[in-house]
Structure 1
């Protein structure tokens, strides 16, 4: 980039659009009115959506064995229980007895129940009455909430023991072919529609909602914020799930609670449970609705601040950590960072630009000598980012040969520029490898001829014809990737190892950099669109309470999932209390769609 000033401008622009969307869409108030058949019309800003008094109860006689489907970390490997999305999803023992299923409707007997009567409430709400069922009773109502979406609440009481989940399934249904876009956390966006009625559990991030946009209006269903207490949601403590696709194949937002298979989904006779959801209606696209719900309903705001020390001191601490061979996992002999957490006997690096920049900014020759230079040597000599020193280990498509460089064209071009032209080998390989496809990470192909590669070559050579090529390729990319909603995951390349949010979202950073060079508004607008899509992969709930929380309770810090070994003892460290926001993952993304459930160290 030309400098941090442009990046800050872009960040402020994105924030400004979010604030603008919030202000414009939150002004109209919600109104409720009775509709035919006991339904309720939710009205707002001249728009209207009808919500039926319809619920679905799924009951399993025995423990449905809730779990998560697996994922393949190595493209092409055969792993039991991996779905076509390579996405860990809630799954259960099928009621038919035929193995496991990721469709909750197949995990038990299904009862659809509709209100038989309704009555008006003093606060402007409507209560629904349901016929008694041999296995349960249900009470429900919808009530206005001042300045917020209305609340649909229900009380479920079991009449016979069993495992139950109750879903509100009365929202508007639409032909997916007739709508402009969807959203179900985390991977179903644009026009990517779930292959089946798949449930996103509370632990899957984003916001606990599903959205449908049609004719410029977005409707949907969000779980009430009070249903998600403040903690790190995991599949072990997830309380509910949201769903976009119904069994008929329509786009119909719904929500189910308790999450079938959790301990609180086991009911004895006479045991009750309550739950609430919020119907949504917003004039505008999914992003406007998403932004409004995040800010107005879940209280998302700019809560982070420097505490305890300056930003410079923080950078110094990070540098000290990275320069500590033991704590950072640095392998001086192999010139890379320990990757044994994923693949035994491996080291991995992706870019030498970070340590090189740190050495220059901090004027520290040791960072250059001990990190930047050996990482550069690694990338110039190895075939892939992941190098394997053990011949019997083949995980994640690691390479053992030395057929480098294993650096992107853009990396090589920038290394040449950062060397101030004193290392012509970088320029040589940047030009030589341009347009030559290579597999540098997993089986993902870097073809060297993208618009961002051409942009890097233009910055390297100053050749105007190369910039013209970059613009032409970018225009085609915008037409294909920004202007055309994606209907599947072909552009993610799941079969090659696509799994990171930069694989799912458009190349907004590269589009932004092209705008920096050209000042063409279309590239900035495209970058903004891509950034909005990327933003939806971050966490925006549970709502952060204004309280302090204790961490490292009992004077010990837990050992990480991957590094824990039999007999390992926790790390002794003082128990401290902190404001809740300091240990919140709000605004942070999970690592990838394959590993979101592990809650890896995104806090670092």
Structure 2
């Protein structure tokens, strides 16, 4: 019957009027126009006294249909409307901008619709319809062509001709809306399909316009999000269990890095009347391709979005059915484990990794020359434990612990004249969240009481650890941290109450503005993670309580974050040439250097131009190697520099994909990490034209020679921790939870949030006494497609293999006898579980393990003994609980000394490290003498003549008390002696 009706309709034309039907009853029945494919049916409907409409129905979702109007809206200006790119750092950077006719008084909305920290003059008009008023054109006739396309006709306009066609391709593809305009007069043009019905924003359950308008946050103006900022090139609304909107046809999105200048289209959700009407305008008015001569036609295809269910069902429809979202990545030249080994080797090189030993921090010269920055000590500590590497502990983890316990802020400047990004010059620590202190307490096996004491002192006190962003003040996250330190149920109940309020405000009742996002209001920071609920924290309280409501909230929030991740364009299934001409331009063409004229009214640094091209050989690669799909922006101000590779969200998505049985979350996680780099890759990147950042030797150069992208040395250990977390979380997800290692929480700041491991034993299958082990260069593998973990059981060695390729792998593994001490000539029995099951053997360190495509296999090597002593000793309790004498904090009242703090840092029972610091600065003291001894030993004297004034002492026998005395000399030559500190475990 359907085919018969379509056949009758072929070649018929119907006039569409709004004043009355031109059809008689019989004519209407015989001449009904419709097209359909396996999923959609579109029927032309004419009702007496009403405008003509198109009824679009989902054949696979009974009862799902919406009316559209054959409506085209055209923007036209005779003169250049002044569209121009935003400059880096400008306030409004998430929307298109035009030169206003008159300068606006002030723009008070940071990121165009987000409350800003202060009014600031801007030089752009951000309201599309303030630039040009849309002219609305409704079709007057329709013709069916080839039973698949509805072609509409319109009344002529003096300035241009409008055309509209709506087509259904065979199969299940969403309707294609083809809009075109042929100018009669030269000018600047842009057009959109305006037929998705306008609705009052108050009636909507969910809205989405890239990049920040989601939940129920309706744009305050008719902002236009250009292609370059459309992480998902769609805009839609959800109401009454139905999602409706428009998306760019994937064929209209070239495989290239879209910029503000070359964006081919823009998205807007708010129409000229202030109602929700999803529209895609192309070209961008005043942008590339919008200036047209008479007769110079332009056209653009969009896809109509229609799906039953909640907003996530609608998003899945957009990603799966429109953009064909998929996991497009796998390991490239090397595995993630080899990448991890390369990155650790780089991080342990003081010169290349930007380590400043005397300041115990990382050179922050990219942003603020003359400063160092540290965001966490847990990252390096966890890596030291899981690798069993004491050198990492001694040269990185321990100094970083001392830094975070003593400095006032993440960013530290020895020169008080440096004010950019608001560094601190003071030792008024700790400079980390209470969650970090809880993590340090856990990761040191509860042996270091200083972490507990400082957490108790700081709870409830607001602090500013980064920029001018307030943190702390007794949050529910802090209460959860206190519960983890103390085990007291009252803290957990306080955390529950706060988390429940957070879920109610941010998830159960979708917010309609940004006031619930505290990081956005009156702050300098506005990272992408700030636009949604704290889903990392929600997962942590789920693990602490086991209560499903927190897990569900974390899953919902993670799904919403998919809107922040790039979902197009996917790479073509071809190869492509990168590094054309043998030289690659950098992401930015300047660097910051100290300002030689710096004074009270001058910045402490200036930007200077430089040649940022890098010599790198041409190479042909699979195109997916250069894809940006799966990556987030950093924040609005830096969006134009490209997305970032510091993708901590990936490990969390992997875990939540398991809990929710949601493959989309898993695919997004894989796209964020796999095959992207072979060493530390830097930060922002634009990717399509080069693979320079993917090379194993990329960071092995001086700072001046690293020209492609931004190098933030304080990101190195967080990035290493990211890879460890990803590997462990991937094993957890693939095994359905049968490979599971306990974690501590490293909250970091912004999105530098990870789980860290190594302080507690976990499980692999039925073995519940397993130490996670990731020693460097422990094994070689016949293919880079597999990643791995080692787990050291009480009797056996487990090897977990995870295949990133869709092709099955028969992996030959060779264990290094210097790392894995196998006995020559001994045949070890090996049990296989997971993708492969059964038994095999290993001799002389060689075994073969089959792994299915995208699968995992656990090879358990029986009776192969390995002793990761450093990690297992963390688990070992002290003969008696640590005493409060392991920490001392004394406010001396002597300016040349100030507050004197000492602590014992203990990871294993056999040794400890003492750290003593004072908060007097170089203005208070000229030099300081530290004297220390154990028991009746001889005094050791250390003179410190440069601020900061601090002492580090390795304590080989922590059973003996350490006595420390401090003498400070002020600038008048007067000597001051502080109280004795006695530190004992």
**TM exceeds 0.5?**
yes
Counterpart in 2 of 1:570? 613
For the pair 1:136 / 2:160, whether they are aligned, the reply is yes
Counterpart in 2 of 1:30? 40
Contact 2:433/2:472 (CA < 8 Å) preserved in 1?
no
Whole-angstrom distance in 2 between the partners of 1:401 and 1:153: 62
Q: 2:581 aligns with which of 546, 554, 568?
A: 554
Counterpart in 2 of 1:446? 471
For the pair 1:61 / 2:67, whether they are aligned, the reply is no
Counterpart in 1 of 2:412? 387
Q: 1:484 aligns with which of 505, 509, 516?
A: 509
For the pair 1:103 / 2:113, whether they are aligned, the reply is no
Larger Rg: 2
For the pair 1:42 / 2:67, whether they are aligned, the reply is no
Q: Map 1:253-268 to 2 at 5 A.
A: 253-268=278-293
Counterpart in 2 of 1:496? 523
Counterpart in 2 of 1:15? none
Task: Give the match's secondary structure for 1:397.
Answer: coil
Whole-angstrom distance in 2 between the partners of 1:88 and 1:389: 36
Q: 1:215 aligns with which of 240, 243, 262?
A: 240
Whole-angstrom distance in 2 between the partners of 1:482 and 1:360: 37
Q: CA deviation at 1:466?
A: 1.7
Q: CA deviation at 1:156?
A: 1.6
Task: Give the match's secondary structure for 1:91.
Answer: coil
Counterpart in 2 of 1:116? 140
Q: 1:245 aligns with which of 241, 248, 270?
A: 270
What per-residue deviation string (whole Å, max 9, x for no partner) do you get for residues 123-143 of structure 1?
243211112222211211111
For the pair 1:199 / 2:212, whether they are aligned, the reply is no
Contact 2:580/2:618 (CA < 8 Å) preserved in 1?
yes
Q: Which has the higher helix share?
A: 1
Instruction: Rate the CA distance shift 1:504–1:428 in 2: closer, same or farther, 3 A.
Output: same
Whole-angstrom distance in 1 between the partners of 2:142 and 2:452: 75
Counterpart in 1 of 2:549? 522
CA RMSD of aligned residues (A): 2.2
Whole-angstrom distance in 2 between the partners of 1:189 and 1:562: 34
Counterpart in 1 of 2:203? 178
Instruction: Rate the CA distance shift 1:164–1:95 in 2: closer, same or farther, 3 A.
Output: farther
Counterpart in 2 of 1:52? 69
Contact 1:511/1:524 (CA < 8 Å) preserved in 2?
yes
Q: CA deviation at 1:569?
A: 5.2
Contact 1:201/1:241 (CA < 8 Å) preserved in 2?
yes
Q: CA deviation at 1:562?
A: 6.2
Determine which structure has greater relative contact order: mean sequence separation of CA pairs < 8 Å that are 6+ residues apart, divided by chain length. 1
Contact 1:211/1:286 (CA < 8 Å) preserved in 2?
no
Whole-angstrom distance in 1 between the partners of 2:132 and 2:244: 29
Whole-angstrom distance in 1 between the partners of 2:535 and 2:336: 27
Counterpart in 1 of 2:99? 93
What per-residue deviation string (whole Å, max 9, x for no partner) do you get for residues 494-552 of structure 1?
22134112211111121112121222111111111111112211000013211112222
Instruction: Rate the CA distance shift 1:433–1:540 in 2: closer, same or farther, 3 A.
Output: same
Whole-angstrom distance in 1 between the partners of 2:186 and 2:349: 57
Whole-angstrom distance in 2 between the partners of 1:580 and 1:297: 21
Contact 1:71/1:88 (CA < 8 Å) preserved in 2?
no
Q: CA deviation at 1:347?
A: 2.4
Whole-angstrom distance in 2 between the partners of 1:254 and 1:307: 39
Counterpart in 2 of 1:408? 433
Whole-angstrom distance in 2 between the partners of 1:592 and 1:457: 31
For the pair 1:233 / 2:233, whether they are aligned, the reply is no
For the pair 1:457 / 2:482, whether they are aligned, the reply is yes
Whole-angstrom distance in 2 between the partners of 1:328 and 1:168: 52
Counterpart in 2 of 1:599? 642
For the pair 1:437 / 2:446, whether they are aligned, the reply is no
Q: 2:321 aligns with which of 296, 304, 327?
A: 296
Contact 1:222/1:279 (CA < 8 Å) preserved in 2?
yes
Instruction: Rate the CA distance shift 1:162–1:509 in 2: closer, same or farther, 3 A.
Output: same
Whole-angstrom distance in 1 between the partners of 2:581 and 2:355: 31
Task: Give the match's secondary structure for 1:321.
Answer: helix
Counterpart in 1 of 2:974? none
Whole-angstrom distance in 2 between the partners of 1:385 and 1:476: 29
Whole-angstrom distance in 2 between the partners of 1:124 and 1:547: 31
Task: Give the match's secondary structure for 1:170.
Answer: coil
Instruction: Rate the CA distance shift 1:563–1:379 in 2: closer, same or farther, 3 A.
Output: farther
Whole-angstrom distance in 2 between the partners of 1:571 and 1:589: 25
Whole-angstrom distance in 2 between the partners of 1:566 and 1:450: 44
Whole-angstrom distance in 1 between the partners of 2:262 and 2:347: 34
Q: CA deviation at 1:310?
A: 2.5
Counterpart in 2 of 1:4? none
Contact 1:338/1:346 (CA < 8 Å) preserved in 2?
yes
Instruction: Rate the CA distance shift 1:327–1:107 in 2: closer, same or farther, 3 A.
Output: farther
In the superposition, the TM-score normalised over structure 2's length comes to 0.55
What per-residue deviation string (whole Å, max 9, x for no partner) do you get for residues 145-187 of structure 1?
2302111102221221112111222211111011111011110
Q: CA deviation at 1:116?
A: 2.2
For the pair 1:364 / 2:407, whether they are aligned, the reply is no
Whole-angstrom distance in 1 between the partners of 2:610 and 2:488: 61
Counterpart in 2 of 1:399? 424
Whole-angstrom distance in 2 between the partners of 1:338 and 1:382: 15
Q: 1:348 aligns with which of 365, 373, 380?
A: 373
Q: 2:91 aligns with which of 82, 90, 99?
A: 82
Instruction: Rate the CA distance shift 1:164–1:323 in 2: closer, same or farther, 3 A.
Output: farther
Counterpart in 2 of 1:8? none
Instruction: Rate the CA distance shift 1:271–1:519 in 2: closer, same or farther, 3 A.
Output: same
Contact 1:95/1:106 (CA < 8 Å) preserved in 2?
no
Counterpart in 2 of 1:512? 539
Task: Give the match's secondary structure for 2:163.
Answer: strand
Whole-angstrom distance in 2 between the partners of 1:109 and 1:349: 50
Whole-angstrom distance in 1 between the partners of 2:217 and 2:200: 14
Whole-angstrom distance in 1 between the partners of 2:426 and 2:316: 48
What per-residue deviation string (whole Å, max 9, x for no partner) do you get for residues 366-400 of structure 1?
32233222222221122111223443432223222
Counterpart in 2 of 1:16? none
In the superposition, the TM-score normalised over structure 1's length comes to 0.89
Instruction: Rate the CA distance shift 1:126–1:585 in 2: closer, same or farther, 3 A.
Output: same
Counterpart in 2 of 1:20? none
Q: 1:269 aligns with which of 294, 313, 316?
A: 294
What per-residue deviation string (whole Å, max 9, x for no partner) do you get for residues 195-245 of structure 1?
011011111132111111111111111111111011222213211011111
Task: Give the match's secondary structure for 2:637.
Answer: coil
Q: CA deviation at 1:593?
A: 3.0
Whole-angstrom distance in 2 between the partners of 1:595 and 1:552: 24
Whole-angstrom distance in 2 between the partners of 1:50 and 1:322: 59
Contact 2:589/2:609 (CA < 8 Å) preserved in 1?
no
Counterpart in 2 of 1:77? none
Instruction: Rate the CA distance shift 1:191–1:324 in 2: closer, same or farther, 3 A.
Output: same
Whole-angstrom distance in 2 between the partners of 1:117 and 1:384: 67
Q: CA deviation at 1:581?
A: 1.5
Q: 1:125 aligns with which of 138, 149, 152?
A: 149
Instruction: Rate the CA distance shift 1:205–1:373 in 2: closer, same or farther, 3 A.
Output: farther
Q: Which has the higher strand share?
A: 2
Whole-angstrom distance in 2 between the partners of 1:506 and 1:557: 39
Contact 2:94/2:229 (CA < 8 Å) preserved in 1?
no
Whole-angstrom distance in 1 between the partners of 2:354 and 2:77: 47
For the pair 1:539 / 2:566, whether they are aligned, the reply is yes
Contact 2:94/2:225 (CA < 8 Å) preserved in 1?
no
Task: Give the match's secondary structure for 1:503.
Answer: helix
